[in-house]
Structure 1
Amino acid sequence: MWPLPPEDGPAFHRKARPATRPDVELTCRVIRRILDDPRLARERVTVEAQNGVVTLLGTVTRRQARVTAADLARATPGVTDICNRLRLVPGADSLAPAERPDPFDELVTDWDATVEHRPMRVRLLVAAAAATAVATAMVPVLLLPRYGDATLAAMLPGMLVTMTLIRAARRGGPG
């Protein structure tokens, strides 16, 4: 998995572009459908739209509410795709097998829980450890035919550097 962009990077300092009229109208249509549905009463659902793609955010108390919100958004005219990022509150009810949502939606529900949000220094240490490990693994390929057993001695510094970087990353960065 590729590292996430840094929280202090340029992507986080960009100003948001104003929403286009079609996006605003689409957002309003989806919100209206969700508000009018009694099955979603008292559920916290936020709707965002961009270029026909609707993103559902928030928390719901039942899995069926998550499925219902996605179905309503998907059936709204003008919606080309949805990203269902609605999360279940802890202890939410389970669904019968026939009511299971799309497997992709299930994956996205728990996305925030599975993605590790590490500080930049830890991500850099992990990247450096990976690069050092790859370089160390290439040493025998490049040097073994020419130098024989001496190649193993050339691998030791790379292995030590890799292990040191991994330990530093596990501790959360340099002291």
Structure 2
Amino acid sequence: MLIPWPYPDEGGYRPEPPGPPPDDEDARLAALVAQRLSSDWTTRRQQIVVTVQNRVVILAGVVAGPEARRVAGEIAWDVGGVGDVCNALRLAGARRPRR
């Protein structure tokens, strides 16, 4: 028994379509927010991790005080193209409540 195998030039050969392109906009926004956080004197030496998903900036880590937390959120909001900000920064020395 002989099974025909189509040549790539024939109409029966259809390669898999490429997957969705990586979201370069999220990477660009993360880089801009991180750059602005590192250049501001209030947030420069803080332990802030910036993640962006679907134009939502997620700030995580530990900051020295409430002023640094507030400024970090404002800086993230000021970047053009940001749709929302989730400020999950914790204050250094703040204890978590016991369960």
Q: TM-score, normalised by structure 2?
A: 0.71
Is 2:23 aligned against 1:20? yes
Match among 78, 84, 99 for residue 75 of structure 1: 78
How many percent identity over aligned positions?
Answer: 35
Is 2:72 aligned against 1:62? no
Structure 1 CA distance, aligned partners of 2:33 and 2:43? Answer: 13
Structure 1 residue 40, shift from structure 2 partner = 1.3
Name the structure with the higher helix share: 1
Structure 1 CA distance, aligned partners of 2:56 and 2:74? Answer: 14
Greater than 6 Å deviation, 4+ residue runs: none
Bigger radius of gyration:
1
Q: CA RMSD in A?
A: 2.1
5+ residue gaps, structure 2: 1-20
Is 2:19 aligned against 1:38? no
- Higher relative contact order at CA 8 Å, sep ≥6: structure 1 or structure 2? 2
Structure 1 CA distance, aligned partners of 2:22 and 2:39? Answer: 24
5+ residue gaps, structure 1: 1-17, 92-109, 117-175
Change in 2 beyond 3 A, CA 1:21/1:69 = same
Q: Aligned with 1:77: secondary structure?
A: coil
Structure 1 residue 19, shift from structure 2 partner = 5.5
Structure 1 residue 62, shift from structure 2 partner = 1.2
Q: TM-score, normalised by structure 1?
A: 0.41
Q: Is the 2:73–2:85 contact (alpha carbons within 8 Å) kept by the matching residues of 1?
A: yes
Structure 1 CA distance, aligned partners of 2:47 and 2:22? Answer: 22
Cα offsets for 1:28-57 (capped at 9, x unmatched)? 010111011011121110100011100000
Name the structure with the higher strand share: 2
Structure 2 CA distance, aligned partners of 1:43 and 1:63? Answer: 12
